[in-house]
Amino acid sequence: MAEVRPALCRICGSYCPILVTVEDGRPVKVTGDPGAPLYDSYTCPKGRALPEQHNDPSRLLHSMKRQADGGYEPIGSEQAMDEIAAKVSRIIAEHGPRSVALYWGTGMCTLAENVSVAAAWMEAIGSPMIFGASAIDKPGAPIAQAAHGHWLGGHPPFEAADAWIMIGLNPLISCSGGFPPNNPGLRLKEAVGDRGMKLIMIDPRRTETARRAHLHLQIRPGEDPSILAAMIHVVLAEGWEDKAFLADNVVGVERLRAAVAGFTPSYAAERAGVAAEDIVTAARIFAQARYAGIGVGVGPSFSLTGSLTDYLSTALTTLCGFWSREGDVVAKPNILLPAYEARAEAVSPFQGWDYGERLRSRDLGNSVAGMPTGAIADEILHEGEGRIRALFCMAGNPMMAWPDQHRAAKALRSLDLLVTAELEMSATARMSDYVIAPRLSLEVPATSALVEGIKHIGHLRGIEGPYGRYSPAIVDPPAGSDVIADWELYYGLARRMGLQLTVTTSFGKGPHADAPPQRDPIDMETKPSTDDLLRLTHRNARIPLERVRQFPHGHLFEEVDERVKPKRAGATGKLDVGNGYMMGLLRDVAGSAPDRTSAEYPYLMLSRRSNRLMNSGGRNNPRLGGKEPTNPAYMNPADLAELGLIAEDRIIMRSRFGAIQAVVAADPGLRPGCVSITQGFGANPDEAEDPAAIGCNSGRLLSADAEFDDISGIPRIGGVPVAIERARTAQKMETGPAAGDQVP
C-alpha cells in the first residue's frame, strides 16, 4: 500500500522539504512538499533520485572486510567494530593517539550529529587530527571573518536587498553559499524579476546564474581581489562609504584606503581582462543600494584567493554599512539552536590561526577553518613519530576529492588501518580495510539545525525566517540488511574501548565568545537511539525539539519576533577592514603577474558542479550518473576551433603534475582560454580508464604542495595551467605523478 510521508532531503546542505511515496516500506517517489514553508515545493534531480539511491542494487547492505587476496566479504557490523576497536587500540598503544585521524566529507549533511559523535570519540582517544572537506572548500570564509570580526546584528533579510554580487558562485546549480538555499531559482526570479534587484556576477563563465545578471564581469580566473580592491577604491574616492557606521564600529579604513590606492579601475580592468566602466558601475550599484549583499563561492577559493576575496567582500559590505541595525528584525533567529542575542555591536577580530596542533611536514596548523586537509596525505606519508597510521573516513571520498590523486592513493595504501563508511564500493571504499554500510537519510531522523548554523560564518547565508524542522526516519532499512547510522560506529568503538563520549550541546551561537560552549555526556550504559541523541544535542534549543516535532512539514515560529538590540554600554568591539595579513596578501597581488598561462600551458582549468551529482556521489544512481556518466572538459568554441577539435573528441589534458584523458564539449559562455570540468569522476590510479564511459579525475592535475594557502593549506584547485592536445584513439598515456612531484 502506498503512503506519502513528509521528509527532508539531505543530499546537500539545502535541506529541501520533500514528500516521499512509500510502497511496501520502500521509498518509490519524491516530490517537493507544497505544505512546507519557505521552499515553494523545490527539489532538484538529486533529491528526486533519493528512492533510487536507497534501493540501488549496488548499495551496500552489509559492511565489508578486505580479504588477503584484495577482495571483499561481508562482515557483521558488531564483528567489524570488535575488530576495528582492537586494531585501533593497538595502534594508539604503540604510536599514540595522534596516529589516528578522522576525515569527514559532504555526506555528513545526512545527519550533523554523525560528526559530533565521531569528533567526541576523537577527543576521547586524545587525537586532535580531525580533518574535514570544508578545508578544501571555502576555508577562507572563516579565516576572513576572524580577521575582520563579526557583526552581532547579522545580515538584513534577502528581501531587503536591491543589489547582489556573486563571486565564483553558481547557486542555481549548487544551491550553496552566499545566497538563500531555499529554492534559489525562485528567490532570484522574485528578486530580479519582481523587485528589480540588480545582480552582478563575477565569474569567468556565463553560468546558469550569470544569465540572469544585470552585469557580468567575465574575469580572468584569480583576479577577484583586484576587482574588489578597485570597487573599494571607487567607493572611498567617491565618498560613498557609510561614515557614521564606520566612525562608531570600524577601524582600519585608512590602512584599507592606502592598500587599494594603486587598484584604480583601469589597473584592475587590465589585470582581470574586463572593462573599467563595468567595475565603476558595479561599485556604484552596490554602494548606492539601500541594502546589498555578496556571496562568495568556491571559484576564488580554488584560485587560492579565497581568504582575501572573502575579506575584501566583507570589508566592502562593512564600508557600506550593510549590516542589521538596532531595531531591525532579526532575519535569521535561532530556533533549534540555542537562543542568541542579536545586537548592533561588533566582535573585534579574534585569533583565527596559529594555534593548536601543527603538522610535521609543512608549516601548517589548526585554524578556524579546521585542520589543513590539503596536507593530510603528506601527514600520512611523512615518516616518523606522530605519523597518521589509522584513518576513519566518514561520508567522504578522498580518492575523488583530495588534491593529487596519485599522492592520495599512495597515502591511503600506506595506512595500517583505513575504515570508510560508505553506501557503495566507492573509489575510497575500494582501498579500505573495512567499509561500514550506513543507514541512508530516509532511514535516520534529523533536524534543520545545520542550515540554521551556517549564517554565523561570514557571507554564508543559511535559512531565513524563524524556521524549524524535524524529520523522522520514514522508512526502515531494507529487510535483511545490517546498516548502522554513521555515529553508531564511533559510539560502538567508544563502548568497546571503555571511553565516555561528550558532545557540545550549545553549538550554533556563532563566534560570540560570551560563554564557553555547554557540553553534555552521552549515555554509555544504555545505547541511545538517534532520536535520543537529537534530544541531547538539541537540549538548549530556542524552541524545544518536542514542539518543533509537532509540525511534520516544518514551521515558521512567528512568536520568535526578535529585533536587533542596541549596543551595550561600554562595548568596545570594532570591525577591522585593514587587517595587516590581508593587506599583505593584497600587496602580493599587485606584485604578481595576472596571466598564469605560458606557451607550454596555455589554458586554465576550472571546476564546475554537475546538476545531477553531489560531487562524486550519485554516479551509480541510474537516474543521475546513469544519465551523465562522464565529465566533459568544456571549452569555448573558438578555442576548440583553434585546436581543430569538435564536441566529443578525446583530448589529453596535461598540467605540470599529471595528465588525464577527457572528452571535450563546447561552452560558448566560457571565457576563452579556460577549460571547465566537473570533479569527482574517473577511476583510481590502478584501475581501467575510459573517459567516455566513466569520465576522468581532475584531481590528478593538481599538486597538494606546489602552491597552497599558508593558513588553511588548501592547494590550487582552479586556475591550474594546462596544455591540451588531441588524443589518438586508445592512446596509451603516462598518467603517473610527474618526476618533480616526489613526496617528502
Ligand X SMILES: Nc1nc2c(c(=O)[nH]1)N[C@H]1C(S)=C(S)[C@@H](COP(=O)(O)OP(=O)(O)OC[C@H]3O[C@@H](n4cnc5c(=O)[nH]c(N)nc54)[C@H](O)[C@@H]3O)O[C@H]1N2
Instruction: Report the interface residues with ligand SF4, using CB under 6 A.
Output: 9, 11-12, 14-16, 43-44, 46-47, 175
Q: Which is nearer to ligand X, 43 or 207 (CB)?
A: 207
Cα separation, 398 vs 404, in Å, equals 10
Q: How far is the CB of 311 from Mo ion (least distance, A)?
A: 20
Pairing of β 555-556 and β 650-654? unpaired
Cα separation, 222 vs 305, in Å, equals 7
* Nearest residue relative to Mo ion (C-beta): 137
Q: Which is nearer to ligand X, 130 or 717 (CB)?
A: 717
Cα Rg of the chain (Å, integer): 25
**Count of residues touching Mo ion (by CB under 5 A):** 1
Q: How far is the CB of 690 from ligand X (least distance, A)?
A: 19
Q: How far is the CB of 9 from ligand SF4 (least distance, A)?
A: 3
**Residue 16 binding result from Mo ion, ligand X, ligand SF4, none, given CB thresholds of 5 to 8 Å by partner type:** ligand SF4
Q: How far is the CB of 176 from ligand SF4 (least distance, A)?
A: 9
Q: Which is nearer to ligand SF4, 16 or 605 (CB)?
A: 16
Here the cell at position 552 is 511534520
| Residue 709 · residue 301 · CB < 8 Å | no
Q: Which is nearer to ligand SF4, 33 or 113 (CB)?
A: 33
**Residue 486 binding result from Mo ion, ligand X, ligand SF4, none, given CB thresholds of 5 to 8 Å by partner type:** ligand X
Q: How far is the CB of 12 from ligand SF4 (least distance, A)?
A: 3
DSSP letters of 252-314?
-HHHHHHHTTT--HHHHHHHHTS-HHHHHHHHHHHHTSSSEEEEE-HHHHHTT-HHHHHHHHH
Q: Which is nearer to ligand X, 99 or 610 (CB)?
A: 610
Binding site for ligand X (CB under 6 A): 12, 105-107, 110, 133, 136-137, 167-171, 173-177, 202-205, 207, 219, 221-222, 224, 297-300, 302-303, 394-398, 400-401, 421-423, 426, 438, 440, 486, 606-611, 613-617, 676, 679-680, 698-699, 702, 717-719
Q: Which is nearer to ligand X, 251 or 437 (CB)?
A: 437
* Nearest residue relative to ligand SF4 (C-beta): 47
Touching Mo ion, residues 95-154 (CB under 5 A)? 137
Give the amino acid at 27.
P
**Residue 9 binding result from ligand SF4, ligand X, Mo ion, none, given CB thresholds of 5 to 8 Å by partner type:** ligand SF4
**Residue 43 binding result from ligand X, ligand SF4, Mo ion, none, given CB thresholds of 5 to 8 Å by partner type:** ligand SF4
| Residue 475 · residue 445 · CB < 8 Å | no
Q: How far is the CB of 453 from ligand SF4 (least distance, A)?
A: 16
Q: Which is nearer to ligand X, 32 or 396 (CB)?
A: 396
Cα separation, 234 vs 284, in Å, equals 8
Helix axes 580-590, 224-238, angle to 10 degrees: 110
The CA-based dihedral angle spanning residues 21, 22, 28, 29, taken in that order and rounded to the nearest 10 degrees: 10
Q: How far is the CB of 469 from ligand SF4 (least distance, A)?
A: 12
Q: How far is the CB of 99 from ligand SF4 (least distance, A)?
A: 36
| Residue 442 · residue 27 · CB < 8 Å | yes
Q: How far is the CB of 109 from ligand SF4 (least distance, A)?
A: 8
Tell me the CA distances in angstroms from 254 to 28, 77, 241, 589, one per residue in order.
Answer: 61, 61, 12, 19
**Residue 15 binding result from ligand SF4, Mo ion, ligand X, none, given CB thresholds of 5 to 8 Å by partner type:** ligand SF4
Give the amino acid at 703.
S
Q: Which is nearer to Mo ion, 171 or 477 (CB)?
A: 171
Q: How far is the CB of 8 from ligand SF4 (least distance, A)?
A: 8
Q: Which is nearer to ligand X, 197 or 401 (CB)?
A: 401
Can you list the pairs that 543-548 forms with residues at least 24 positions away whose Cβ atoms lie under 8 Å?
543/335, 543/336, 543/468, 545/336, 545/447, 545/470, 548/335, 548/336, 548/447, 548/468, 548/469, 548/470
Cα separation, 273 vs 222, in Å, equals 11
Cα separation, 137 vs 154, in Å, equals 23
**Residue 477 binding result from ligand X, ligand SF4, Mo ion, none, given CB thresholds of 5 to 8 Å by partner type:** none
Q: Which is nearer to ligand X, 291 or 681 (CB)?
A: 681
Residue 717 CB-half CA count within 13 A: 30
Q: How far is the CB of 643 from ligand X (least distance, A)?
A: 20
**Residue 139 binding result from ligand X, ligand SF4, Mo ion, none, given CB thresholds of 5 to 8 Å by partner type:** none
**Residue 47 binding result from Mo ion, ligand X, ligand SF4, none, given CB thresholds of 5 to 8 Å by partner type:** ligand SF4
DSSP letter at 25 equals T
Tell whether residue 709 is a contact of Mo ion (CB under 5 A).
no
Tell me the CA distances in angstroms from 275 to 86, 202, 398, one per residue in order.
Answer: 64, 13, 40
Cα separation of the two ends of the chain = 61
| Neighbour count for residue 124 (Cβ, 10 Å) | 18
Q: Which is nearer to ligand X, 198 or 567 (CB)?
A: 198
Q: Which is nearer to ligand X, 302 or 657 (CB)?
A: 302
CA-closest candidate to residue 628, choices 668, 683, 681, 676: 681
**Residue 105 binding result from Mo ion, ligand SF4, ligand X, none, given CB thresholds of 5 to 8 Å by partner type:** ligand X
Q: How far is the CB of 682 from ligand X (least distance, A)?
A: 10
Footprint of Mo ion on this chain (CB under 5 A)?
137
